[in-house]
Structure 1
Amino acid sequence: MSKLDRHSSHPDVNVGDIYFNNNYIDAIKYYELAIQKDKNNLEALMGKGLALRELGKYLESIVSFQSYLGACREEYQKIDGYLEKGYTYICLGAFSDANECFDRCLDIDKKSPEALNAKGLVLYSMDAFRPAIQFYDKALGGRKDANFAFILTNRGNAWYELDMYDEALESYTRALTLNKNETGALIGKGVFYKKWGKYEEASKLYKAALDIDPNFVALNCMQNGISLHTKSKFDEAIKIYNKILALNSEYVISPQYISLVHINKGLALYSTGCYNEAIKCFNKALMTDSTYSILALIGSGAAQGKLKNMASAIECYNKAMDIDPNMEFTAVNEIIYMSGDESSFFSIYDEVLLSSILIDAKIKANCVINQLVDPDLEDIALNGYHKKVVSQEQLNEIKKCVSEVGIAGEEYINSYLQSLCENGKIKQFEWVSKNNAISPYDFYIININNERINVDVKSTNGEFDRLFHISYGELKTIVLGPERYDIYRVYELNNANAKLRIATDIRSFASGILEILKGLPEGVVADGVSVDTSLLKFEQEIMIQK
């Protein structure tokens, strides 16, 4: 748990700061009380942003930091806001956005050591270690202040990643000369000694770091376990997690981080096929702290699914989606740990494994229980590029899920057209795709003017404005066929009803797209396009039922 060390004269902010070091949710309540009294209370806006970030609510956190920046009267006050906003973007892996924030700091103070160090952190996160060192050197600028010892630690870490061990050791030693309690340097130097077989010296440094900041050490060890996990060294990873849990009986480690350790141990057990043991770990995580409960629920649901306990799996996914409907928290790459003037970043799970588990969760939660189909799944089903690792089995299941939504949408339109026919608003219609699955349209209608209109149904359980796909064959039919061609957008589809908006006669739009596709090199043919609903003129919304 990060600590907030400041002294406010505002009573609500002061109480919020006290709670910050124990309970982020209550801290936010007091910060909001202060903001209600003064919407430009900088301390409250900053505190709220920091607390939201600790709870994993990164996007809300960024909004709070932006409000802080808007309330600043002096340019120098903005540096802290841009720094914290940038740090939050690093957690999300949005490095260009983070860099932009740090550049804004440097516009205000071109020699800001915090901003220069932060730019180094971005480069380090991108594995650009030598350029990172250059920024760390600029940040140090010959400073010998104990408050900047952590920058030397960062430089040492970069040298270590480059296998420049002597340079790394020199940086760690200099950091400890400036500040003997620089925990990162103690650990870095300990890792160096352990690598060269100096186990006694390494153990002393590790013990010293634990005495100073057990939370930092726990997160550092957990990150080592995650690194082993990514290399499929699951048993070794579990040993590290068990070691951290054992330390908790001797040292005070935040429940927030102990919960994460249980989650990662559960993920390691899941990877070895020990699903019952994994579920126990996820349950322990849930009982320990709620901050990362969505990760524990997703992991538990995946393990229950492997055990064929589908009702329990769906219950877990339901709870996870209740907490975070868009599962935004799973986009987090790292968490930030604040200690004094130092901000450190730590991985919190194996991204590849969680990505795979998350795809399973979305399939179960969206397909089995017929909730909103996630846009990620629709994108994958339509062969869109996606930064996910998806197995063939998962891909087949996703396509089946989205196909079922498409069929359900056509059933709704069949009922809708039947009612139009019975009320004399159209003369006749036919559900063409029911008998010919490769037809370039789903229905045709004969209206009261004896005009034939081809209809393609584009369905989603989600919102109206999700992208939909038009195949190359459909484009050719729209442009070259003699009949008018309409798009029926069915959305927010469920078992009871759905919504419909119609785009009539899209020939002109399709013709423009087809002309662009003709510009592709000879021998290259696009299989279709994904279309934003805003590009077509849709009529008013209609509620439809089966």
Structure 2
Amino acid sequence: MPILLLRNKDIDLISGKRNITIRRLWKQPLYVGDRLYCYWNILSKEREKLFEAEVTHVDILTFDEIIHDPGLPAKLGYKNSRELEKDLRKTYPNNTTPNDEFQVFEFRKLHVTQWEGSAINQKNTIIKKADVLFEMGEYEQSSLCYQAALEYDREDSHLLNRIGDNLTRLGQFGDAIKNYRKAIKIEPDNEYLYNNMAIAYLNKGDPEKALKMSTEALKINSRNTTILYWRGLIYEMLNDFEKALKFFDYVLKIDDTDPDVWNERGTILNMLGKSEEALKSYDKSLELCLDDKKDSNTWASKANTLLGLERYAEAIECYDNALKIDDSNPIILNNKGVAYMELDDFESAIECFTKVLVMYPNNPDAQVLQEVCLENL
């Protein structure tokens, strides 16, 4: 019973995009007609059989023949012969002399009713792998897995939505919108699908269409805080700060425990020239935030507000809190340097700009500000 082990890099084989692969020649070589048991991560706790397959073609080739075959890399999913050779040397470090033999074989997946071993829910197994890849930030591979799962059920709106989410993160907003539209045709009363389409339009730079999709979402559920929050962001992008503030305040009436909403509310209040109120919103966000990265952004936003209010010592203290979390952020370091400049502490300011230039030698703000400081010493 030959077993084919599949890993993250074999997504094309799992999704069905490719049905040809290469392995070192096994002690028992493969033959046409052999049945393959195909597993994901068989050596880990998460091991699961993905599918069974039948071998349809086998070539036994030497390492030298493989790396000099110009047509083989593309068939195996590699960009060129160099990439194929590098991967083989990494995977089989003891089997890459010119005469070492490999088997290049093709297979066809068998329907679950033809399996000899125990059957599994293939769709759910592939979805689980797609979910893991999504959480890892491997959006392209995750999308391929969701596409493979979709082959089992073309009317699964959840999968279409997840494909849209992946494409959004890959910056392919037009394709993401197409998948959200397909999902909405199947599940027209799902407000999250409209909201996700609104987010895709917003990222695409079309806030007007985003607003229309947001309106459709609110028709279904006018008290969904996620949709209300994103509607506030859409109005922010449209520079309608009064309406943005209205929606953030509405969210907080329903649920006042979301630090992101308090943070955005602070940003809007700054835009409206209400800096003192903005500080209170940032303080509330910091009180609720459990995410260090977001915490850093909020400390920096509060510091910028204090800088605008000419409360320089307090601003520096806030910049320091931000830098404890994100110590290589050039914007925060430069702004901290500006605060020192306002206090005529040019030596401390130079220290900030020097740190930026060590990490980012071509940072224009740090270059100019450092020169100004040197002129004032």
Structure 1 length normalisation: TM-score?
0.36
| Structure 2 counterpart of 1:39, from 154, 169, 174 | 154
Q: Which residue of 1 aligns with 2:270?
A: 160
Q: How many equivalent residue pairs? A: 219
Compute the displacement of 1:47 (Å).
2.0
Compute the displacement of 1:192 (Å).
2.5
Pair 1:112-2:224 in alignment: yes
Matches of 2:247 and 2:152, distance apart in 1: 41
Q: Which residue of 2 aligns with 1:189?
A: 302
Amino acid paired to 1:68: A
Alpha carbons of structure 1 residues 157 and 209: separation in structure 2 relative to 1, 3 Å: farther
Matches of 1:158 and 1:96, distance apart in 2: 19
Q: Which residue of 1 aligns with 2:165?
A: 50
Amino acid paired to 2:127: V
Amino acid paired to 1:11: T
| Structure 1 counterpart of 2:250, from 129, 138, 144 | 138
Compute the displacement of 1:179 (Å).
2.6
Amino acid paired to 2:171: G
SS at structure 1 position matched to 2:255:
coil
Q: Which residue of 1 aligns with 2:124?
A: 10
Asked if the contact 2:299–2:319 (Cα under 8 Å) also holds between the matched residues in 1, the reply is no
Matches of 1:71 and 1:244, distance apart in 2: 54
Matches of 2:356 and 2:164, distance apart in 1: 33
Matches of 1:208 and 1:65, distance apart in 2: 40
Compute the displacement of 1:113 (Å).
1.4
Q: Which residue of 1 aligns with 2:180?
A: 65
Asked if the contact 1:152–1:171 (Cα under 8 Å) also holds between the matched residues in 2, the reply is yes
Asked if the contact 1:13–1:43 (Cα under 8 Å) also holds between the matched residues in 2, the reply is no
Matches of 1:96 and 1:57, distance apart in 2: 19
Pair 1:22-2:137 in alignment: yes
Alpha carbons of structure 1 residues 109 and 142: separation in structure 2 relative to 1, 3 Å: closer
Matches of 2:254 and 2:286, distance apart in 1: 16
Alpha carbons of structure 1 residues 187 and 46: separation in structure 2 relative to 1, 3 Å: farther
Asked if the contact 1:150–1:185 (Cα under 8 Å) also holds between the matched residues in 2, the reply is no
| Structure 1 counterpart of 2:285, from 152, 175, 186 | 175
Alpha carbons of structure 1 residues 244 and 167: separation in structure 2 relative to 1, 3 Å: farther
Pair 1:150-2:260 in alignment: yes
Q: Which residue of 1 aligns with 2:84?
A: none
Matches of 2:256 and 2:250, distance apart in 1: 13
Asked if the contact 2:300–2:319 (Cα under 8 Å) also holds between the matched residues in 1, the reply is no
| Structure 2 counterpart of 1:99, from 201, 204, 211 | 211
Q: Which residue of 1 aligns with 2:57?
A: none
Matches of 2:304 and 2:128, distance apart in 1: 39
Matches of 1:191 and 1:157, distance apart in 2: 10
Asked if the contact 2:259–2:288 (Cα under 8 Å) also holds between the matched residues in 1, the reply is yes
Compute the displacement of 1:86 (Å).
0.2
Where structure 2 has 5 or more consecutive residues not aligned to the other structure, the ranges are: 1-122, 336-351, 366-377
Alpha carbons of structure 1 residues 193 and 180: separation in structure 2 relative to 1, 3 Å: farther
Please tell me the root mean square deviation across aligned C-alpha atoms, in Å: 3.4
Compute the displacement of 1:208 (Å).
4.7
Matches of 1:243 and 1:84, distance apart in 2: 37
Pair 1:84-2:84 in alignment: no
Amino acid paired to 1:49: G
Matches of 2:301 and 2:154, distance apart in 1: 43
Compute the displacement of 1:37 (Å).
1.1
Matches of 1:27 and 1:48, distance apart in 2: 8
Matches of 2:249 and 2:262, distance apart in 1: 8
Amino acid paired to 1:144: D
Amino acid paired to 1:187: A
SS at structure 2 position matched to 1:10:
helix
Q: Deviations over 1:277-313 (max 9, x none)?
A: xxxxxxxxxxxxxxxxxxxxxxxxxxxxxxxxxxxxx
Asked if the contact 1:13–1:31 (Cα under 8 Å) also holds between the matched residues in 2, the reply is yes
For 1:60-459, what aligned pairs fall within 5 Å after superposition? 60-72=175-187, 75=189, 78-145=190-257, 148-181=258-291, 182-183=294-295, 184-195=297-308, 196-198=311-313, 199-210=315-326, 243=356, 246=359
Q: Deviations over 1:207-253 (max 9, x none)?
A: 35538xx9xx78x87xx9xxxxxxxxxxxxxx99x949939xxxxxx
Compute the displacement of 1:118 (Å).
1.6
Asked if the contact 2:167–2:176 (Cα under 8 Å) also holds between the matched residues in 1, the reply is yes
Q: Deviations over 1:302-355 (max 9, x none)?
A: xxxxxxxxxxxxxxxxxxxxxxxxxxxxxxxxxxxxxxxxxxxxxxxxxxxxxx
Q: Deviations over 1:447-505 (max 9, x none)?
A: xxxxxxxxxxxxxxxxxxxxxxxxxxxxxxxxxxxxxxxxxxxxxxxxxxxxxxxxxxx
Matches of 1:43 and 1:246, distance apart in 2: 43
Asked if the contact 2:252–2:261 (Cα under 8 Å) also holds between the matched residues in 1, the reply is yes
Alpha carbons of structure 1 residues 175 and 98: separation in structure 2 relative to 1, 3 Å: same
Q: Deviations over 1:347-391 (max 9, x none)?
A: xxxxxxxxxxxxxxxxxxxxxxxxxxxxxxxxxxxxxxxxxxxxx
Alpha carbons of structure 1 residues 67 and 149: separation in structure 2 relative to 1, 3 Å: same
Matches of 2:183 and 2:228, distance apart in 1: 22
Matches of 1:107 and 1:28, distance apart in 2: 30
Matches of 2:196 and 2:256, distance apart in 1: 24
Matches of 1:41 and 1:138, distance apart in 2: 33
